[in-house]
C-alpha cells in the first residue's frame, strides 16, 4: 500500500466512525489539545472569534462544537448574545455541557447533537458561524459549507480554523516529522487510543490546500473569502461573508 493510499484508509470519514473515535478520546481531548499545541490553540480560537467582529447582539452557530471551547470563548471575549453548538459526538457534548453549566452559561449556550452535513437549525438563524478544527473531519466538507451558508443570514460572517502545512522548507520538514511521528505517540500514551492520533496527521494530509478550500467556500455561497496563515502556516484561519444584503 502506498503512503497516499494508507493516509486515505486511516482518514476514513464515515460519520459513525468519526463520532465513535471522538467519543473514545473525549475524557482527554481538552488536555491533549493544550499539550500538543503548547497552549497555542487558545490563541487560535481567540483570533477566529475576533475576526467575526461581534458586537454582543449576535447569535453564533458553532459547528463541530466538541467540548464547547469556542462557545465559551465567544461568550467570554466577544459577548455573543447566544451560541448554538452542534456536534455529532455525544460524549464530547456531554463534557461541553458540564463546562457550560460550570461557567453559568446554560441560558446563553445551547449544545445540540447533529451532523454538520444536515444541521438541525433553521435557515438564516445565525449572524455568525465558526468551525474549529472540525471541517476536515466531515465526510463531505462542501456539503457542510453549504449547510453553514444556509443557516447564516445574508451578510453573516464565517470563521474556520483548520490545520495546514507550513510552506517554509525547514519549518515544514520539522512540523511534518513531529506531526507524523511524535504527535501520534503522545496522543496514544495520554488518551489510550492509538487510531485517533494516527487519524489526525492522515486527515490533515488529505484535506484540500488553502486555495482549493477557498473555492469550496465561494461555491457554497461566501464572498470576501480569505485564508490567513497562523503560526507559520501550521493553522489557517478561513474567513468569509455569506452573499446577500445584510438586514438593517
For residue range 144-197, what is the model confidence (pLDDT) as tens digits? 999 999 999 999 999 999 999 888 888 888 888 887 888 778 777 766 666 666
For residue range 52-72, what is the model confidence (pLDDT) as tens digits? 999 999 999 999 999 999 999
Residue ranges of domains in the chain: 3-242
Task: Output the pLDDT for position 193.
Answer: 64
For residue range 11-20, what is the model confidence (pLDDT) as tens digits? 578 888 888 8
Q: Three-class SS string for the chain?
A: CCHHHHHHHHCCCCHHHHHHHHHHHHHHHHHHHHHHCCCHHHHHHHHHHHCCCCCCCCEEEEECCCCCHHHHHHHHHHCCCEEEEEECCHHHHHHHHHHHHHCCCCCCEEEEECECCECCCCCCCEEEEEEECCHHHCCCHHHHHHHHHHHEEEEEEEEEEEECCCCCHHHHHHHHHHHHHHHHHHHHHHHCCHHHHHHHHHHHHCCCCHHHHHHHHHHHCEEEEEEEEEHHHCEEEEEEEECCCCCC
Task: Output the pLDDT for position 247.
Answer: 57
pLDDT bin (cut points 50, 70, 90) of residue 246 is low
CATH fourth-level superfamily of 3-242? Vaccinia Virus protein VP39 (3.40.50.150)
For residue range 114-135, what is the model confidence (pLDDT) as tens digits? 999 999 999 999 999 999 999 9
Amino acid at each position: 500500500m502506498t503512503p497516499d493510499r494508507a493516509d486515505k484508509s486511516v482518514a476514513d470519514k464515515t460519520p459513525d466512525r468519526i463520532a465513535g473515535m471522538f467519543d473514545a478520546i473525549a475524557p482527554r481531548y481538552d488536555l491533549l489539545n493544550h499539550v500538543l499545541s503548547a497552549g497555542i490553540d487558545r490563541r487560535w480560537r481567540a483570533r477566529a472569534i475576533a475576526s467575526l467582529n461581534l458586537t454582543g447582539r449576535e447569535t453564533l452557530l458553532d459547528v463541530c462544537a466538541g467540548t464547547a471551547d469556542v462557545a465559551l470563548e465567544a461568550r467570554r471575549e466577544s459577548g455573543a448574545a447566544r451560541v448554538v453548538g452542534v456536534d455529532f459526538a455525544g460524549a464530547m457534548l456531554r463534557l461541553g455541557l458540564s463546562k457550560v453549566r460550570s461557567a453559568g452559561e446554560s441560558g446563553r449556550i445551547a449544545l445540540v447533537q447533529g451532523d454538520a452535513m444536515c444541521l438541525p437549525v433553521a435557515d438564516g438563524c445565525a449572524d455568525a458561524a465558526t468551525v474549529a478544527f472540525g471541517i476536515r473531519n466531515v465526510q463531505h466538507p462542501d456539503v457542510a459549507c453549504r449547510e453553514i451558508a444556509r443557516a447564516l443570514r445574508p451578510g453573516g460572517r464565517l470563521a474556520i480554523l483548520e490545520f495546514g502545512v507550513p510552506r517554509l522548507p525547514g519549518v515544514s520538514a520539522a512540523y511534518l516529522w513531529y506531526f507524523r511521528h511524535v504527535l501520534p505517540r503522545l496522543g496514544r500514551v495520554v488518551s489510550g487510543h492509538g487510531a485517533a492520533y494516527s487519524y489526525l496527521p492522515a486527515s490533515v494530509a488529505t484535506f484540500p490546500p488553502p486555495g482549493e478550500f477557498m473555492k469550496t467556500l465561494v461555491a457554497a455561497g461566501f464572498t470576501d473569502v480569505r485564508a490567513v496563515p497562523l503560526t507559520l502556516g501550521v493553522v489557517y484561519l478561513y474567513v468569509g461573508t455569506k452573499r446577500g444584503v445584510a438586514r438593517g
